[in-house]
Structure 1
Amino acid sequence: MTATPSRPHERLSLGLALAFAATSLPLSALGLAAAVHLPSYFAANIGVPLTVVGAAFALVRFIDVPIEPALGIAMDRTRTRFGRYRLWTVLGAPLMMLGLYMLLIADQGVGQGYLIGWLLVMYLGVSVLTLSHAAWASTLAKTYDDRARIFGVMTAVGVLGAVSVLLIPIVMEQMGYPEAQGVRAMIWYLIFLAPIAVAIVVFRTPETIMAEAPGQRFQFREYLDLIIDPSMRRILLADFALSLGPGWMAALYLFFSRDAMGFTSAQANILLAIYILAGVVGAPSLAWLATKISKHRAVMVACVVYTSVLVSLAFLPRGNVLAAIPTMFLTGFMAAGFGVLTRAMTADVADEVRLKQGKERGGLLYALTVLTSKIAAGGSIFLTFTVLDQVGYDPKIGDANSPEAIQALMYCFLAGPILFVGFGAICLIGYKLSAERAAEVRRLLDERDAGVA
Structure 2
Amino acid sequence: MNSITASFDAAAPANDDLVQDGLQIRQTRADPSAQPLPTRRLLAFSTLWMPLAAVEVPLSTYVPPLYAGAFGLSLGTVGLIFLFARLWDAVIDPGIGILSDRTRSRFGRRRPWIFAGAWIFAFGAVGVFLPPAWFGPLEFSAALFTLYLGYSMMATPYSAWSGELSAAYHERTRVASYGQGLMSVALLLALVVPSLLAQRFAHEPRYQLASMGIMVFVLLAVALPFSLRALPEPASTAPPRGERTGFWRTTSLVLGEKLLIRVLASNFGIRLAQGTRTALFVFFVAHYMGSPAWAPALFLLQYVFGIIACPIWLAIGRRIGKGRAAVAGELTQVAINFALLLVTPGAWPLLLLLTVSQGLAQGSGNLMLRAIVADVADSHRLKTGHERTGLFYSVFSLSDKAALAVAVGIALPLIGWLGFDPREVNPPEVLEHLKYVFALGPVIGHIISASIIHGFPLDEKRHAEIRDSLTARESGASVSAPTT
Unpaired segments of 5 or more residues in structure 2?
1-22, 478-484
Equivalent of 2:214, from 166, 169, 188? 188
Equivalent of 2:232, from 201, 206, 226? 206
Correspondence 1:291 to 2:322: no
1:38 Cα shift?
4.5
Correspondence 1:378 to 2:409: no
State the structure with more CA Rg: 2
In structure 2, what is the equivalent of residue 327 of structure 1? 354
In structure 2, what is the equivalent of residue 197 of structure 1? 223
In the TM superposition, what whole-angstrom CA distance separates every residue of 1:248-285 from its partner, at most 9, and x where no partner exists? 222333333223322343x3222111111222222222
In structure 1, what is the equivalent of residue 287 of structure 2? 259
In structure 2, what is the equivalent of residue 366 of structure 1? 393
2:130–2:213 contact (8 Å) kept in structure 1: no
1:47–1:109 contact (8 Å) kept in structure 2: no
Relative to structure 1, the CA distance from residue 33 to residue 381 in structure 2 (aligned partners, 3 Å threshold; closer, same or farther) is farther
In structure 2, what is the equivalent of residue 224 of structure 1? 252
CA distance in 2, matches of 1:169, 1:213: 46
In the TM superposition, what whole-angstrom CA distance separates every residue of 1:177-219 from its partner, at most 9, and x where no partner exists? 47966566333312332232112101222112222268x3416
In the TM superposition, what whole-angstrom CA distance separates every residue of 1:359-378 from its partner, at most 9, and x where no partner exists? 22110000110011111223
1:48–1:109 contact (8 Å) kept in structure 2: no
CA distance in 2, matches of 1:151, 1:48: 39
2:130–2:209 contact (8 Å) kept in structure 1: no
Specify the SS of the correspondent of 2:362.
helix
Pairing of 1:405-444 with structure 2 (within 5 A): 406-444=431-469
Equivalent of 2:278, from 228, 246, 250? 250
1:316 Cα shift?
2.9
Relative to structure 1, the CA distance from residue 219 to residue 94 in structure 2 (aligned partners, 3 Å threshold; closer, same or farther) is closer
1:65–1:371 contact (8 Å) kept in structure 2: yes
Correspondence 1:239 to 2:249: no
Greater Cα offset, 371-380 or 166-175: 166-175
Correspondence 1:15 to 2:40: yes
Relative to structure 1, the CA distance from residue 96 to residue 393 in structure 2 (aligned partners, 3 Å threshold; closer, same or farther) is farther
CA distance in 1, matches of 2:68, 2:353: 30
CA distance in 2, matches of 1:165, 1:235: 29
Relative to structure 1, the CA distance from residue 331 to residue 183 in structure 2 (aligned partners, 3 Å threshold; closer, same or farther) is farther
1:236–1:369 contact (8 Å) kept in structure 2: yes
1:355 Cα shift?
1.7
In structure 1, what is the equivalent of residue 383 of structure 2? 356
1:172–1:182 contact (8 Å) kept in structure 2: yes
1:131 Cα shift?
1.0
Greater Cα offset, 18-27 or 277-286: 277-286
Q: TM-score, normalised by structure 1?
A: 0.86
1:173 Cα shift?
5.4
CA distance in 2, matches of 1:179, 1:59: 28
1:346 Cα shift?
0.2
Greater Cα offset, 177-186 or 66-75: 177-186
CA distance in 1, matches of 2:209, 2:282: 13
CA distance in 2, matches of 1:59, 1:213: 36
1:127 Cα shift?
1.8
Counterpart of 2:455, as a letter, is: G
2:338–2:440 contact (8 Å) kept in structure 1: no
In structure 1, what is the equivalent of residue 17 of structure 2? none
2:333–2:361 contact (8 Å) kept in structure 1: yes
Superposition RMSD on alpha carbons, in Å? Answer: 3.4
1:30 Cα shift?
2.4
Pairing of 1:72-83 with structure 2 (within 5 A): 72-83=97-108
2:325–2:365 contact (8 Å) kept in structure 1: no
In structure 2, what is the equivalent of residue 341 of structure 1? 368
1:52 Cα shift?
5.9
Identity of aligned residues (%): 27
Specify the SS of the correspondent of 1:206.
coil
Relative to structure 1, the CA distance from residue 113 to residue 254 in structure 2 (aligned partners, 3 Å threshold; closer, same or farther) is farther
Correspondence 1:131 to 2:153: no
Counterpart of 2:193, as a letter, is: I
Pairing of 1:99-114 with structure 2 (within 5 A): 99-104=124-129
1:57–1:381 contact (8 Å) kept in structure 2: no
Unpaired segments of 5 or more residues in structure 1?
none
1:290 Cα shift?
1.5
- The aligned length equals 447
Relative to structure 1, the CA distance from residue 391 to residue 54 in structure 2 (aligned partners, 3 Å threshold; closer, same or farther) is farther
Specify the SS of the correspondent of 1:289.
helix
2:127–2:140 contact (8 Å) kept in structure 1: no
Equivalent of 2:189, from 164, 171, 191? 164
Equivalent of 1:89, from 114, 136, 139? 114
Relative to structure 1, the CA distance from residue 45 to residue 387 in structure 2 (aligned partners, 3 Å threshold; closer, same or farther) is farther
Greater Cα offset, 336-345 or 63-72: 63-72
2:337–2:440 contact (8 Å) kept in structure 1: no
CA distance in 2, matches of 1:249, 1:372: 17
Counterpart of 1:263, as a letter, is: S
In the TM superposition, what whole-angstrom CA distance separates every residue of 1:50-72 from its partner, at most 9, and x where no partner exists? 76665554443333443111111
Specify the SS of the correspondent of 2:280.
helix
